[in-house]
């Protein structure tokens, strides 16, 4: 049985899956599922910040999602822009900094302006960093980081590549919707992440579900290639000595 760990994950990443299936199960248009999913995102961002998570990265739109029907893609882009506009003032008040990570080359001018406005307005936030991965792919991220290093004339090392990626290493990855795959999300950064798969569809994933995932994480034993005995020895060495 794993030992309890009192620390929360510093960086949590979420694959928000199941909006369409949530709507279909209720005989609703897929658009309703995406709108409800946006409400769930707002709740989870608020809860994560309150619970002490330092960084939250959510997978909003993958580079493969452009293959979806044009009408659905257009709706997702509209929800993206309107969501940023609506929630930015609240993020400012909560001290949450927002970052958009991914390839922005296919975004409209109006969406790009909203992204810039939201990032600028929240840049002083220190309570939590919210990264929204949009038109993002894990392979794209690795390739772009490698190209950046080559352009700078820096050696292509594991350390340098990690630094050049758009988002830092993940401690806890959550995927909703019952699927058990990474779907090309943060492939490098999740190499040692604890992965929590939830059967809940994203619109049903709420504050209590997030707490469940965080509690599960605290029960994990993160060895990073070492043995349990080595970890116990290290912990004993770092325990404070009695007066």
Active site residues: 17, 65
Backbone angles phi, psi at 56, to 5 degrees: -130, 125
Residue 55's nearest CA partner among 117, 115, 123, 127 is 127
Across the beta sheet with 96-101, the strand order is 96-101, 128-136, 55-62, 11-15, 172-175, 194-197
Distance CA 43, CA 200 (A): 15
The three-point CA angle 27-84-11 to 5° equals: 90
Cβ atoms 233, 22 nearer than 8 A: no
Sign of CA dihedral 29, 35, 38, 40: negative
Neighbours of 225 (CB within 10 A): 6
Determine if residue 241 is left, alpha or beta; phi over 0 gives left, psi from -120 to 50 gives alpha, anything else beta.
Answer: beta
**CA of 56: how far to CAs of 2, 20, 71, 240, in Å?**
25, 23, 29, 32
Distance CA 47, CA 130 (A): 12
- For the stretch 76-104, what's the b/e string if a residue is b when 16 or more beta carbons lie within 10 angstroms of its beta carbon? bbebbbebbeebbeebbebebbbbbbbee
């Amino acid at each position: 049985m794993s030992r309890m760990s009192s620390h929360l994950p510093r960086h949590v990443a979420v694959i928000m899956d199941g909006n369409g299936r949530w709507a279909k199960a209720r005989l609703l248009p897929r658009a309703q599922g995406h709108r409800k999913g946006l409400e769930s995102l707002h709740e989870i961002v608020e809860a994560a910040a309150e619970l002490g998570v330092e960084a939250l990265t959510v997978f909003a739109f993958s580079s493969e999602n452009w293959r979806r029907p044009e009408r659905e893609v257009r709706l997702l882009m509209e929800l993206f822009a309107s969501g940023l506009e609506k929630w930015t003032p609240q993020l400012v008040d909560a001290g949450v900094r927002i970052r958009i990570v991914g390839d922005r080359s296919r975004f409209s001018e109006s969406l790009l302006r909203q992204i810039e406005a939201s990032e600028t307005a929240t840049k002083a936030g220190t309570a939590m960093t919210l990264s929204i991965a949009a038109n993002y792919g894990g392979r794209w991220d690795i390739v772009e980081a490698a190209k950046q290093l080559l352009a700078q004339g820096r050696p292509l090392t594991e350390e340098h590549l990690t630094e050049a990626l758009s988002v830092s290493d993940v401690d806890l990855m959550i995927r909703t919707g019952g699927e058990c795959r990474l779907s090309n999300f943060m492939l490098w950064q999740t190499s040692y992440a604890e992965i929590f798969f939830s059967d809940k569809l994203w619109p049903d994933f709420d504050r209590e579900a997030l707490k469940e995932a965080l509690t599960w994480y605290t029960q994990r034993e993160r060895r990073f290639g070492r043995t349990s005995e080595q970890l116990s020895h290290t912990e004993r060495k770092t325990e404070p000595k009695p007066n």
